[in-house]
Structure 1
Amino acid sequence: MRKHAFAPRSRARSRRLRIVCIMAAFAAIFAGAFIRLAQLGMEEEAGRETRLPYDRAPGGRPAIVDRNGQLLATDIPIASLYIEPRSIPDLDEAVEKLTAIFPELDAGELHSRLRSKDAFTWIKRQIPPDKQQAVIDSGLAAVGFRPENQRLYPNGSLAAHILGAVDIDNFGIAGIEKWIDANWLADLRGAGLALKGRDLQPVELSIDLRVQYAMEQELGKAVTKFGAAAGAGLLLDVTNGEILALASYPAFDPNNPVDAFKPDRINRVTAGVFEMGSTFKALTTAMALESGRFDLESVVDASRPLSFGRQRIHDYRGKYRPLTVPEAFIHSSNIVMAKMAMTLGPEALRTFLGRFGVLSQLATELPESAAPLRPSSWSEVTTATVSFGHGIAVTPLQASMAVAALANGGRLIRPTFIKDSPVSERTIAESLLSANTSEAIRHLLRLNAAVGSATKADVPGYVIGGKTGTAEKVVQGRYSKVLNVTSFMGIVPADNPRYLLLTLLDEPRGLAETYGNRTSGWNAVPLGGALLHRILPMLLKPVFPSPSGAEAVPVATGEPSVDDSSSD
């Protein structure tokens, strides 16, 4: 009887145990399914994140300012629009609304991209606030906004060839912007530091925005007036190599960086090479004087052209008589320059030009830099032609650096675009000239501005010196008889130089007011004069002669003046 009394209780306990086990099994199944779903969700989210191009974002960039603290470039916050195609509830509605907000989008191409069911795709990078609000108001699903930095150049095209540009991801692609990345910003990013622009010290450039504006404005007017294909300008401090202004025309707007890579928008001062014509005669004359075989009283016969087989070297509107060295300089005698160079020999000329940095590529902060086109061999005829800037093409910045060294006493300084860059670290060579030779070159430059081909650059209150250059342009491997490149290099004050000004016009045309002339004295020099009139009062105090008499300029030429700015 006792055995049968416990049987119902035992069976009930067994039933409850089975129920508990079944419930536990179901709980385990549901728990496993939940965990797996959570894992899948996290994997999908992680996969989506890795497909978002967040790793391309460079973070902020430092502001760029001029030497007086004026803003040239800065970052501004902006949003970019993306969408998750596989989460779009209604594809046709999404395409219709997006193309209504962004009419520039191609509906067919957009429909194809959104149909792909990718985890992520960009719709529009760096959209303005009103477009962002329009997207929000549209109620579109599966869209999102990514905060980014957009580079803003508040002065538009001003100083564009110095500043350069950035790409859509805020990486530097040209000019100082590219130098900033290569010099140190890329290292910060590589270390994992995504800094904001305001966390970085501004980059202070050596340029003066006031001078830069004047240069670009006057250059643009001159290019238009003379119908030139292009133009360029530069203001260089000869005492420390700092560049206060650099302009190349036509320019581009770095806010629209695609224009920076158009062939006609190159930086002609650093990335273009030109035969600089008679501006090279300053170097040839310095070499001759430094050799001790010539001085300012030396006389060289320029009565007849030089002949090299079928080639002849003659003077442009020459005097065709014996000339003193100062006469040869202000009358820009090719014959005299060639004879002095040939007297010293090919090796002497090549060595001298090499010491002044015009035979090798010049490196500055700007990555856009061209190598010179120099003779493959230095024959007697090559020596003769190179002496007056024919048969050798250099960047205008190289030529300016060399003439600056002539003016500052023989110190060759690598130019810079960075304010207060240590001069000692950029000094390539010292004492390239004796004090007497440098003083003689300054005298000749002043003489040429007073009574020679550079008279149209003179500015009351300032002692200007300068040399002109007109070179036949090479077109399809041949020298053109109708197209020129004209240039002018001026120094101020000529007796104790502080600044060097370069102006250059590519293919200027003759005008009625120039009597059809298209040489440097009629276009590049007046451009230089207009610039000096505007910028010198910003930089130097004028000095006027005393009432008792005007400045006396010694002229050892026997003639009162050159033929009205026609010689180069």
Structure 2
Amino acid sequence: MAILPDPALLPTGPRADRPDRTLATAVETGRRRVVMTALVFGVAFGGIGLGLVKHMGFGADGDPDGQAVAMVDPVADRADLRDRNGLILATTLPSVSLYADPKLVIDPIEASLRLSKALPGLDSDKLLADLSSDRRFVWLKRGLTPAQQYEINRLGIPGLAFQNEERRYYPSGGLTSHVVGFTNIDAQGIAGLEKSLDDRLQAGESVVLSIDLRLQEMVRNELQAAIAKFKATAGNVVVMDAKTGEILSMVSLPDFNPYEPTAASDDALFNRNTLGVYEMGSTFKIFNTALALESGTSTLQTTYEQSPIRVGRFTIRNFRAEPQSGRWSVYEIFRQSMNTGSVHMFEAAGLERQKEFLARLGLTKPSPLELPEVGSPMVPRPWSQVSGMTIAYGHGMAVTPVQLVSAVAAVVNGGILYPPTLFKHDAAHPVRGTRVLSPELSRTMRALMRVVTVSGTATKSDVPGYFVGAKTGSANKAVRGGYNRKAGVTDFVGIFPAYDPKYIVMTMLEDAQAIEGTYGYNTAGWNAAPLGGRIIARMGPMMGVEPKDPNDPAILRELAVDPAGRAAPAQVAVAIEEEEG
């Protein structure tokens, strides 16, 4: 007989599904716990991530160490600088930079060693110090190349990251360094046109310059060769359009790499064409002669005694082979570059006329050129009679090469002074200038400068078919209490073609030496003048200037000047007026 269990001991309610319900409850509880744990970790990691972004990207208000550094936002596209033919002189391209959060760098020593191999230019001691610091952000290297970025990525060092930026590039390198200038790492203009045009470039406005890059390269090569040949310490060249004031080439050597301006010497950073002020020597006789003829106190046939002039404890003499006595005409005084005759011409014209005339040509105040690096002329104070005597032959007053070129252009281009400029003029809009000389006097001065090239001190600058007109100058460098007789500058200013000048070329060498073939001379006729001639010979075809028959009767008539005949009319007591050229 079967024994049945006591009904009182059996569980009440349904029995078949009880195990299934217990299992389901356990599973549901576990799922909830997993979800909650995930949420907790998600919130935690999210907070950590936001904290890192706050520290590394935006700085940390209330950071107890105060060491958070704000990330530099990529700059807006900085506009291009281009030469007159559209070639890029400065542009902005994408770049990347390397930074680190030192607190995330696990092993600063190992990281610095590996980074030093990838980026040999870094200071290893500074790198280790940066990676070991308590800061949350440090720049390690700005402006990486793609190859450098790839190598650093391969290292896989924790705590390093890249920032997308933009960087300024100069395709012509140092060729236009003194004109274009440079920016800092954050694309802010520091020197040259990059500085003076900073607002326009930052606003995205591209600027076309007057510089011709082809001409610039040729001029630099010729200048470098001349510096080496004559063992000069430095040199500079300016080429200007005589009828617009546009500067087509401006080279100053030594120059510098615009990518590494801090590595350049002060001498290399110095723009001799705009910052340098020099006593120009005999090239200033262009202005003294024009003054004498304009005033009516001298004509080409007026003669003056050439004996030495005693002024206090000093004596003014002519240079070596020049006449030391006798009476010579203004024509010969200019052709042979006589100092004493120039002084007498000044004395006849008078001190006040000299002051007004040189001021009219823009030689007594800084050039209005667009560069920030512009020097002020050294004008005598007081401007005495003795000062006027020495200024007559190029001493006692110092100007920049750009000022000299601009003034000479006005003397020979028909008498219009155009402000020098580094911007290309729009051919559709006439250039406005100021009349400073009569056209007749300008023609006479062109003819006199042609005489100097044919039979004066600048014969080595002549180029067949281009009818070069010129004047040379040599001067010792001024030092406290006098002049350094062993240091000086030699300069040449040439015009071509002289019958209708289109271009002005000025060359200058510092401390040029006498070499074999110069017969012991280191004056401008032996070094600066031939340099000018080589530049003119090469730039003529480049600029489309057609050589003419040297015996063309029309041209010879235009350049005719009779040393015993009439001078050009001396009337430029005309009111200063604005004229178009």
* 1:277-296 alignment, distance < 5 Å: 277-296=281-300
Distance in 1, matches of 2:486 and 2:126, equals: 51
Structure 1 residues 56 and 514, CA gap change in structure 2 (3 angstroms): farther
Give 1:546 deviation, angstroms.
5.8
Distance in 1, matches of 2:218 and 2:127, equals: 47
Using the aligned pairs only, state the percent identity: 38
Map Cα deviations across residues 447-475 of structure 1 (whole Å, 9 max, x no partner): 11111111111111111111111111224
* 1:413-428 alignment, distance < 5 Å: 413-420=418-425, 427=432
2:574 — aligned with what?
Answer: none
Distance in 1, matches of 2:514 and 2:109, equals: 62
Give 1:56 deviation, angstroms.
6.2
* Structure number with bigger Rg: 2
- State yes or no: 1:135 paired with 2:152: yes
Give 1:43 deviation, angstroms.
5.5
Distance in 2, matches of 1:370 and 1:356, equals: 17
Give 1:382 deviation, angstroms.
0.9
Conserved 8 A contact 2:292-2:348 = no
- State yes or no: 1:119 paired with 2:136: yes
Give 1:140 deviation, angstroms.
1.1
2:4 — aligned with what?
Answer: none
2:223 — aligned with what?
Answer: 219
- State yes or no: 1:495 paired with 2:495: no
Give 1:255 deviation, angstroms.
2.7
RMSD: 2.8
2:348 — aligned with what?
Answer: 343
* 1:40-189 alignment, distance < 5 Å: 42=50, 45-51=53-59, 52-55=69-72, 57-182=74-199, 184-186=200-202, 188=203
Bigger Cα displacement from structure 2, 293-302 vs 255-264: 255-264
Give 1:37 deviation, angstroms.
8.7
Q: Report the AA paired with residue 185 of structure 1.
A: L
Give the 3-state SS of the residue equivalent to 2:97 in structure 1: strand
Give the 3-state SS of the residue equivalent to 1:337 in structure 2: helix
Map Cα deviations across residues 419-463 of structure 1 (whole Å, 9 max, x no partner): 116999985x62211222111111111111111111111111111
Q: Report the AA paired with residue 162 of structure 1.
A: V
Give the 3-state SS of the residue equivalent to 2:135 in structure 1: coil
1:433 — aligned with what?
Answer: 437
- State yes or no: 1:533 paired with 2:537: yes
Structure 1 residues 502 and 48, CA gap change in structure 2 (3 angstroms): same
Give 1:113 deviation, angstroms.
2.1
* 1:227-266 alignment, distance < 5 Å: 227-260=231-264, 262-266=266-270
Distance in 2, matches of 1:463 and 1:348, equals: 32
Q: Report the AA paired with residue 131 of structure 1.
A: Q
Q: Report the AA paired with residue 523 of structure 2.
A: T
1:8 — aligned with what?
Answer: none
Distance in 2, matches of 1:88 and 1:162, equals: 44
Conserved 8 A contact 2:301-2:563 = no
* 1:303-452 alignment, distance < 5 Å: 304-316=307-319, 317-319=321-323, 320-420=325-425, 427=432, 430-452=434-456
Distance in 1, matches of 2:40 and 2:301, equals: 104
Give 1:343 deviation, angstroms.
2.0
Structure 1 residues 60 and 357, CA gap change in structure 2 (3 angstroms): same
Q: Report the AA paired with residue 370 of structure 1.
A: G
Conserved 8 A contact 1:259-1:265 = no
Distance in 2, matches of 1:555 and 1:363, equals: 34
Give 1:271 deviation, angstroms.
0.8
Structure 1 residues 336 and 177, CA gap change in structure 2 (3 angstroms): same
Give 1:301 deviation, angstroms.
2.0
Give the 3-state SS of the residue equivalent to 1:105 in structure 2: coil
Gaps of 5+ in 2: 1-34, 60-68, 565-581
Structure 1 residues 509 and 295, CA gap change in structure 2 (3 angstroms): same
- State yes or no: 1:471 paired with 2:475: yes
Q: Report the AA paired with residue 171 of structure 1.
A: Q
Give the 3-state SS of the residue equivalent to 1:485 in structure 2: strand
Bigger Cα displacement from structure 2, 262-271 vs 549-558: 549-558
Q: Report the AA paired with residue 503 of structure 2.
A: Y
Conserved 8 A contact 1:249-1:265 = no
Give 1:35 deviation, angstroms.
7.6
1:565 — aligned with what?
Answer: none
Conserved 8 A contact 2:491-2:528 = yes
Conserved 8 A contact 1:466-1:490 = yes
Structure 1 residues 205 and 548, CA gap change in structure 2 (3 angstroms): closer
Distance in 2, matches of 1:388 and 1:379, equals: 15
- State yes or no: 1:204 paired with 2:226: no
Give 1:36 deviation, angstroms.
9.5
Give the 3-state SS of the residue equivalent to 1:490 in structure 2: strand
Give 1:172 deviation, angstroms.
1.7
Gaps of 5+ in 1: 1-26, 189-199, 559-568
Conserved 8 A contact 2:73-2:165 = no
1:191 — aligned with what?
Answer: none
Distance in 2, matches of 1:108 and 1:55, equals: 25
| TM score, norm. by length of structure 2 | 0.83
Structure 1 residues 546 and 502, CA gap change in structure 2 (3 angstroms): closer
Q: Report the AA paired with residue 98 of structure 1.
A: L
Map Cα deviations across residues 178-232 of structure 1 (whole Å, 9 max, x no partner): 12204x235x3xxxxxxxxxxx454211111121111101100001000111111
Give 1:67 deviation, angstroms.
1.0
Bigger Cα displacement from structure 2, 541-550 vs 481-490: 541-550
Distance in 1, matches of 2:99 and 2:183, equals: 21
Give 1:34 deviation, angstroms.
9.0
Distance in 2, matches of 1:493 and 1:108, equals: 61
| TM score, norm. by length of structure 1 | 0.85
Q: Report the AA paired with residue 253 of structure 1.
A: N
